[in-house]
Structure 1
Amino acid sequence: MREIALTQAPERPSSATPADLCLDDNRHAFWLAFLDWQSSASPEDLAALSQALAPHAQHVRPIHRAISDALQDPQTAFLLPFDLTRRLEHAGWKLEHKHPARVPHPLAA
């Protein structure tokens, strides 16, 4: 099994497009900041995160999308722990814009 280094950029396949590279860098920045924050978060901060994400995480989904949606929602943005948002900003993480609702695949019915 190969070790994963969170402090260095992820390896990229040679076929990656510039858009893929930007998305990978943004996700890497998110996880660096989030894991750093989570490792020292107080129980109160973890509870605040849970409260802020409740309206945005009704189903299983990536946490970076739920946090991005919570930050873009005026009713939940202020509920997120300040230290988490500061670390995300410091890491250079960019908000992910809300994606339009996906049309279900006909075979999924």
Structure 2
Amino acid sequence: MRRLAVILVAVILLTACNQRGDDGYAFERQEFNRTHLSVTIVTHPSLADLQRAGGDAGADPGSGRELAAFSTLSATSPACTIHIVDPHVRYEPQWLGHEMAHCIYGRFHR
């Protein structure tokens, strides 16, 4: 019985280690850690416009995902640009937070 309890606790702890956020992504790794940033926000009038700009910038949302926001950043510069749809048109704050995480931590998911 004690062994079963230990196994259950281990499973629960391991499951909690890499949970997905509201955006559907898990924090897998940290490329860098920035505490001081220069962030520019670009708002797009529509999702289609954002997706065109993302395609031009080489943004890749990943297999089977739709591009909802993107950021451009560099491992050597604290400057970061976040592209979102105008919140008056489509309010999805989870994507602003997701892209800010990229600005702070780099490419944290695959």
Counting strand residues as a fraction of each chain, which structure ranks higher?
2
The verdict on a shared fold, with TM-score over 0.5 as the criterion, is no
Higher relative contact order (CA 8 A, sep 6+): 2
TM-score, with normalisation over the residues of structure 2?
A: 0.35
Kindly name which structure, 1 or 2, has the bigger radius of gyration based on alpha carbons.
2
TM-score, with normalisation over the residues of structure 1?
A: 0.35
